[in-house]
């Protein structure tokens, strides 16, 4: 082997190695980069009912109102008096409401109504003139049941809401309220005499229904749990009060109530 042949072979080997290195580097540069696996996204939080909604709920109204009436009648040329005593008590109530967010400062407008019906008892006590003795009235008493009492309350409110967690909300609302009351009372009283010496007398009563409207106010605090974007459950404490004047009496109606209901998104 000559001295010229060995350098030539050595130079060719170097060129071949350089070509392999260059070709491998170019192949790596053309390979697409493998993307890193994406981290699993967190589940989306349940959102509030962002739109027009309606709610229906059952409630209990704690109502304790006492009122009275007075009737006069003339017997044997002497005036007599019959006083009526009535007491209303609490009971179940149906409540319906609707609302629309204002999309600013957490405010929304709301409107609603409720119906409360409860029958109660009343007592009339009479001081009836004696047919034989002037100025010596006889005392008589009569208990009357089935005196219906009904309240229809309508309200308009401005509510402020604030999110507690991802699917909980607290709200405070207030506004005017109008209440229509229908009350059954003793309207007329008559007497039935006993036999001689007429020391006892019986009362006979006829009832009458009176109705009227009164203007007052209402306020509420509620907590809502959003089951989904279109369904929510809530608990509300409410106080409503109004004064209603009827033909014979004036009533202070309404009172505190606790409401449990379900809310649906309409649009």
With respect to residue 8, please indicate whether it lies within any of the assigned structural domains: no
Mean pLDDT of the chain: 84
Other beta carbons less than 10 A from residue 197's beta carbon: 10
Cβ atoms of 124 and 139 closer than 8 Å: no
Res 50 pLDDT > 90: no
- Per DSSP, 106 falls in state T
pLDDT in tens, 173-231: 999 999 999 999 999 999 999 999 999 999 999 999 999 999 999 999 999 999 988 89
Residue 226 belongs to a domain: yes
Assign residue 117 the CATH number of its domain. Answer: 2.40.160.20
pLDDT tens-digit readout, 117-154: 999 999 999 999 999 999 999 999 999 998 999 999 99
pLDDT of residue 20: 46
pLDDT in tens, 83-123: 999 998 899 999 999 999 987 888 999 999 999 999 999 99
Distances from the Cα of 258 to the Cα of 60, 62, 77, angstroms: 6, 9, 54
* 9: enclosing H helix or E strand: helix 5-30
pLDDT at 65: 86
- C-alpha separations of 71 from 14, 62, 148 in Å: 130, 30, 20
Farthest-apart Cα atoms in the chain, separation: 170
Beta bridge partners of residue 181, listed in sequence order: 151, 212
The total of other beta-carbon atoms located within 10 Å of residue 2's CB is 7
Q: How many domains does the chain have?
A: 1
| Domain span at 220 | 53-265
Q: Tokens standing for 204?
A: 């006979």
Of residues 111 and 46, more confidence is placed in 111
Give Cα 25 distance to the centre of its chain. Answer: 74
- Give a yes or no: residue 24 inside a domain: no
In a domain, 43, yes or no: no
Q: Is residue 100 situated within a structural domain?
A: yes
Q: Is the pLDDT of residue 7 over 80?
A: no
Q: Please give the Cα distance from 41 to 150 (Å, whole number).
A: 55
Q: How confident is the model at residue 6 (pLDDT cuts 50, 70, 90)?
A: very low
CB atoms within 10 A of CB 177: 24
Cα dihedral 27, 28, 33, 37 sign: positive
CA distance 55 to 73: 51
42 domain residue, yes or no: no
| Contact indicator for 234, 247 with CB cutoff of 8 Å | no
Q: Is residue 125 part of a domain?
A: yes
What's the CA gap between 222 and 111, in Å, rounded? 15
Whether 21 is in a domain gets the answer no
Predicted TM-score (pTM) of this structure: 0.76
Q: What tokens appear for 201 in the block?
A: 């007398």
């Amino acid at each position: 082997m000559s001295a010229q042949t060995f350098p030539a072979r050595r130079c060719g080997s170097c060129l071949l190695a350089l070509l392999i290195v260059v070709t491998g580097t170019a192949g790596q540069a053309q390979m697409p980069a493998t993307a890193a696996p994406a981290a699993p996204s967190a589940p989306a939080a349940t959102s509030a009912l962002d739109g027009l909604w309606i709610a229906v709920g059952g409630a209990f109204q704690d109502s304790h109102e006492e009122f009275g009436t007075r009737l006069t009648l003339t017997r044997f040329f002497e005036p007599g008096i019959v006083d009526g005593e009535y007491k209303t008590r609490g009971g179940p109530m149906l409540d319906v409401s609707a609302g629309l967010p204002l999309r600013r400062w957490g405010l929304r407008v709301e409107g609603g109504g409720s119906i409360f019906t409860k029958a109660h008892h009343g007592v009339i006590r009479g001081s009836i003139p004696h047919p034989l003795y002037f100025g010596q009235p006889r005392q008589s008493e009569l208990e009357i049941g089935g005196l219906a009492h009904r309240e229809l309350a309508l309200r308009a409110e401005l509510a402020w809401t604030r999110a507690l967690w991802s699917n909980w909300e607290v709200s405070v609302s207030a506004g005017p309220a109008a209440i229509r009351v229908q009350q059954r009372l003793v309207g007329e009283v008559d007497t039935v005499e006993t036999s001689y010496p007429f020391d006892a007398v019986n009362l006979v009563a006829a009832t009458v229904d009176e109705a009227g409207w009164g203007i007052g106010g209402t306020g509420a605090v509620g907590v809502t749990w959003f089951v989904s974007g279109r369904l929510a459950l809530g608990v509300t404490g409410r106080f409503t009060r109004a004064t209603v004047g009827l033909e014979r009496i004036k009533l202070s109606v309404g009172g505190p109530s606790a409401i449990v209901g379900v809310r649906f998104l309409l649009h």
